[in-house]
Structures are given as structure tokens and as C-alpha cells.
Amino acid sequence: MDYRKEKRFSGLTPFASKLWLASPTMHGEEQHWVDDAITTNWVSTVGANINEIEKEIAAYTGVQYAVALSAGTAALHLATKLAGEKLYGQAKPNAGTLAGHRVFASDVTFDASINPIAYEDGEAVFIDTERDTWNMDPAALEAAFAIYPDVRLVVVAHLYGTPGKMDEIRHICQEHGALIVEDAAESLGAKYLSDASGWVETGSLGDYNCISFNGNKIITGSAGGMFLTNSKEDADKVRKWSTQSREAAPWYQHEEIGYNYRMSNIIAGIVRGQIPHLEEHIAQKKAIYERYEEGLKDLPVRMNPYDAKKSQPNFWLSCMIIDEDAMAPHVRGEQDELWLHESGKASPGEILEALQAFNAEGRPIWKPMHMQPIYRTHAFITAEGNGRGRSNAYIAGSGIDVGADIFRRGLCLPSDNKMTKEQQAQVIEIIHRCFR
Ligand SMILES: Cc1ncc(COP(=O)(O)O)c(C=O)c1O
């Protein structure tokens, strides 16, 4: 269907330049620090930019040590490996540290949170999502420990920049002697009111913590990530692993498997130029969220929720979810989807296609990990227990869990911090027209 020619959308013209979901926002200082790296010839994985951003991010997030790496995924891999080694000992060079062990993990997240469990030969068990923050449900985590009491590691992500229920999760983990890998890739700058420590930053809430500087994140280096910790020993180990695990010998000497995961000083220069603008980016994202909240309040939709008493999100992505009774028919296969229009109703598929027709980028909610073909055989636990095979041929009921439901009815809206108020007003208008 060509939405631009449809009567419902008459009078609207496509955006002259594309409105992105979340694109890099440069300020000028980035160029200075990249040039500085080049003119001083520190074009390597060593240099002043790396040292400086490690200091600045550690201070900002309130941890003692930060290790700059090539990606958030690299940080998550080494964090997960470190946890595996701590729990189960050093693995042979051809084996992962989690071999033979299950790991509990957030279900609605990007697969980079989860894949390191497989890199380390572990088996992820997915924990369902709660409706208050769209993050790991502590009740489902409890249920998971009841089924798998031997599990000792939990990977927790903060979706779209909104902190999850970390006090509850930490408490449950402590009761079961489990460690936490915190994936704060999307939530740098988001704050959480911890019962134990007051207001703290995400990225400081786990035993092993990770952030990302991917091009779409709240601040970027074009790529890059960091491992954050209060343990000098852990920071030193990650630094060693990330630079090919060299021993202290005059020649190349190796007792452990190594990785080429260190951040480049050029990338670090971009991050260095971005750090002074983190708070400004968060303020812009918050204003975008609030304008959507106001502009969409007359529609049968809600924004991605957060707990205002316990958290201050970084509002990285604004999302919405359509009320059940305003959902137009919409079905998804593995790679395509079909929907029908019904007056007064809409579906994520229709809204995303309408936005695209007017040159604006939205995105479906991250498809839950338990629904991904690659992880289809892995266990999935909801607040009621086993989340697999929940429907019954003989008894009426639904096989839909919270994560699947948010995926079905939700979508991510254009959230670029360079989007003007006028552009956002047109996005809001397009969404309204979808419901006509
Ligand atoms: C939740 C989450 N975890 C991990 C990553 C991986 O970070 P990177 O792209 O820096 O490897 C991302 C995004 O890219 C993410 O959104």
C-alpha cells in the first residue's frame, strides 16, 4: 500500500531527509581528539584518549575501574567469561568457562547480551519480562531458581535505557549465591535508586558491568564498549585478555586464550569528544519521550513505562504499546508480516510502514530471545514457571507471555536527538492517522 496516496494521510509530505531511530550526534570536540591521536601518532590501541575516557567514565558511573574495548559485545563476552571462570574455574583453551552450566538471562533484549553465554559454551535460560519497566521479571527469576537451583549466573539488561528492578533481582541473586553480569549497553547515564546505596548509575549495579558506544547509543565512538568494575584484579584480567593475553615475558608468551578486543585510540577520541555531551543527549531524549507522551495521550496507546520513584531512564529510545482492544489484526511469520486496517485501530506493522513511507525510521520491539529460532530449544521461565508449552489442546488458554505480548503490540519510535519539534509533531500526526 502507498500510504502517501491514501486518503487518511492526505496533506502530509515525506520528510526531506530521513528521520532516524537513533543516529550519532557529533559536536566538534570528537574531531579535535581524533586529530590529536593522529598528530601525536598514537594510532593504536594505546594512547591518551583511551586513558582519559577510562578515567572519565569510571568517575561518571561511580566505579573504580573502566576498561575500554572494541565493542559492548566484547565487554559482555569478557564479563561473562570472567564470571564463568570465577564460578567454575579456568577452562581448557578449546572450551568455554560455562560448559555444562545454565545461565539465566533477560529475554527481551538485543542478542549481544545473550550470545556470550554461548561463546562460553553455557546454555541461556530466558527469564520473562515484567510490565512496569519491560525488563527481567523478579517473580520469573524466583520461579527459575525454583526449577534450576544450581544456576549461579544472571545476565540482566536495561531495555531502551530504562533501569530494571535491580534491588529485587540483586536480592534474589544474593539468596541463591548468583553473580550478575549487567548489560547497560543501552542505558549509560540512567540512574537507579538502590536500597543499599541511594542513587547510582546503571553500569555499576552488577558484579561485572558493560556499556556500549555503538553508533546508535546515547553517546558513541562509532563503535566501542567498556567493562566496568570495582575490582582491580578483574580490570587487569580483562585488559590482559583483550590484548591477546600476553604474559610478563620478553617474548610472546601465553598461558590463556587471548582476544583482540581493545579499543583503538582513534575511537576513544570520538568517545572523548562525546562524554561532555552525555547529559545534553539525555535531556534531548527525555524531551522527545515527553513530547510523544503528550502527543499520543488521546490514542489507545501507552509509552514504554518506567518507575519514576526508583529510576531516571536515559530515554534512549521512545516506544509505544497499543492497547489490546485497539490492536488491528496483525500476524508475524519468521521474516514477514501481514496486517489489516480497522477503523479506530492500528498495529505495529501498519504504523512502522506508514512511518517508513514518510521517510521516518521506527523499529519493532526487540524480538524476545525465547522466540528466536536459534534459542527455540532453550528453557524459558515466566512468573508461573515453565514458559514453554503453556497452552493446552483441551483447556482454553493463551500461550502468550509478557515478552511476546510487548513484541506483538509495541514498537520503537523515531528517537533521534536531532529530530525537531516540528518533525516529531508530524510523526505524532502520522500515528494518529493510522488509527483513523
Ligand atoms: C542491550 C545491548 N547489549 C549489547 C549490545 C552490543 O553492543 P555493541 O554493539 O557495542 O557490541 C547492544 C547494542 O548494540 C545492546 O543494545
pLDDT tens across 228-261, in order?
A: 999 999 999 999 999 999 999 999 999 999 999 9
355 has pLDDT over 90: yes
Residue 338 predicted with pLDDT over 90:
yes
Q: pLDDT digits over 59-107, tens only?
A: 999 999 999 999 999 999 999 999 999 999 999 999 999 999 999 999 9
Tell me the C-alpha distance between 281 and 316, whole Å.
9
Q: What separation in Å is there between the alpha carbon of 397 and the centre of ligand 1?
A: 35
Interhelix angle 72-88/232-242, rounded to 10 degrees, is 120
Cell numbers for 288, please give them: 522527545
Pocket probe for ligand 1: among 67, 73, 136, the residue whose CB has the most ligand atoms within 8 Å is 73
222: β partners: 214
CA–centroid distance for 399 within its chain: 26
pLDDT at res. 88: 98
pLDDT band at 423 (very low <50, low <70, confident <90, very high): very high
Set of cell numbers at residue 208: 561485572
Q: What percent of the chain has pLDDT over 90?
A: 96
Which atom of ligand 1 has the smallest separation from the CA of 158? 1
Average the pLDDT over 339-349 and give the result: 97
Cα separation, 167 vs 164, in Å, equals 9
Helix (H) or strand (E) holding 65: strand 65-69
What is the end-to-end Cα distance of the chain in Å, rounded? 16
- For residue 89, the model assigns a pLDDT of 98
Q: How far is ligand 1, taken at its centre, from the CA of residue 112, in Å?
A: 6
Q: Closest Cα partner for 411 from 360, 351, 368, 357?
A: 351
pLDDT of 418 above 90: yes
Burial 211-233 (b: 16+ CB within 10 A, else e): bbbbebbbbbbebbbbbbbeeee
* 121 Cα distance to chain centroid: 22
Among 136, 156, 212, residue to substitute to test ligand 1 (most atoms within 8 Å of Cβ): 212
Give all domains of the chain, ordered by start, each with its CATH number: 3-24+278-389+398-434 (3.90.1150.10), 29-276 (3.40.640.10)
Distance 109 CA to ligand 1 centre (A): 9
**Beta strand segments in 107-247, E:** 123-127, 153-157, 179-183, 191-194, 198-201, 208-212, 225-229
Judge contact between 414 and 362, C-beta under 8 A: yes
Question: Which atom of ligand 1 has the smallest separation from the CA of 224?
Answer: 10
Contact 15, 358 (CB under 8 A): yes
The answer to whether the CB of 110 is under 6 A from ligand 1 is yes
| Ligand 1 center from residue 214 Cα (angstroms) | 7
Give the residue whose CA is nearest to atom 10 of ligand 1: 72
Ligand 1 pocket member 109 (CB < 6 A): yes
Residue 80 Cβ < 6 Å to ligand 1? no
Residue 205 CB–ligand 1 contact under 6 Å: no
Tens of pLDDT, residue by residue over 14-71, are: 999 999 999 999 999 999 999 999 999 999 999 999 999 999 999 999 999 999 999 9
Cβ–Cβ under 8 Å, residues 313 and 415: no
- Pocket flag, ligand 1, residue 162 (CB < 6 Å): no
Distance 320 CA to ligand 1 centre (A): 21
Q: Of ligand 1's atoms, which has the minimum distance to the CA of residue 76?
A: 4
Cα angle, residue 318 at apex, residues 312 and 324 outer, rounded to 5°:
110
Q: Could you tell me if the CB of 72 is within 6 A of ligand 1?
A: yes
What's the CA-to-centroid distance between 74 and ligand 1, angstroms? Answer: 9
Q: How far apart are CA 59 and CA 83, in angstroms?
A: 24
Decide: 214 in ligand 1 pocket, CB within 6 A: yes
The confidence band for 367, taking pLDDT boundaries of 50, 70 and 90, is: very high
Question: In this predicted structure, what is the pLDDT of residue 410?
Answer: 98
Q: With a threshold of 0.75, does the pTM exceed it?
A: yes
pLDDT of residue 389: 85
- The answer to whether the CB of 115 is under 6 A from ligand 1 is no
